[in-house]
Amino acid sequence: MDIKIVHLLTHPTEYREMKSISSLSKLDIPYVQHINKVFKGKVPKNSKKWSGDKKLKKNSEKYQYSEQGAYGCYSAHKKAILNEFDTDYLMVCECDCIISVPPKQFVDILPFYIKDMEENNIACLGIGSFCLDITKETEELYICENIICTQCMLYSSKHKEAILELFQNEDWCAYDFWINKFFGKKNKLAVVKQRITQQHTGQSLIDLGLTKRMSKRIDAHNSFCFYVWESHKNS
């Protein structure tokens, strides 16, 4: 299986990221790290309206939403795909990604996910995502229009050129909204039915001042499947 993991890190000596490194590095899969500084520059303006804009504004009313943090996340994913996609499949994991099953089980189940990806022409698979608006159910996956949480994403090289072209020609947005816009409406986006990763508790770089923790699983057939975040304001 020709696959590689790119691990997006920001503070690799901090506890959360150390736990994520320890978890992912146990997998018998080629593994590289991208250490990205927290983005503090001027965020590029978008020339087009995004369906996620209203959601971002609503979120910013409740929390101190960081546009710089969202752009930094998008840029880190973009950099990983542009520079590391030299395999049949590329897995991009964020700094809080934790494997929630034994390493061998994780590796053993990937071919089943990939089989369903290829049979259904899926470009992007959220191994650590939850979804809304399910359009089709396969043996292993929910094909859906919208995902939230891009903590562990698997990409097929069959769609590599299309993804690279989108990065070149389309405006940025919060990365999950970006994925939804270009792949969800085209039935090229899916999540796994049985999540095998989770997020380690830690402070968000996008919703500033919040510590997020995934607390439980909710499933509803042909409706949605997701974890609930418990968010705590830091004092």
pLDDT at 67: 82
Q: Is the pLDDT of residue 193 over 80?
A: yes
Residue 95's nearest CA partner among 135, 38, 145, 45 is 38
Contact, 139 vs 117, CB < 8 A?
no
pLDDT at 195: 84
Q: Is the pLDDT of residue 202 over 80?
A: no
Q: 3-state SS string over 191-213?
A: EECCCCEEECCEECCCEECEEEE
Q: What residue segments make up the domains of the chain, in order of their start?
A: 3-233
* Cα 15 from Cα 12, distance rounded (Å): 8
* Cα 160 from Cα 88, distance rounded (Å): 9
The reported pTM is 0.85
Q: Is the pLDDT of residue 166 over 60?
A: yes
pLDDT, average across residues 62-78: 83
pLDDT at 15: 94
Q: Is the pLDDT of residue 205 over 80?
A: no
CATH class of 3-233: alpha beta
Higher pLDDT, 33 or 221: 33
Residue 186's nearest CA partner among 131, 135, 118 is 135
Over the stretch 215-233, which tens digit does the pLDDT of each residue have?
444 443 433 444 444 444 5
Integer angstrom CA distances of residue 188 from 62, 85, 115: 32, 18, 14
45 confidence band (pLDDT: 50, 70, 90): confident
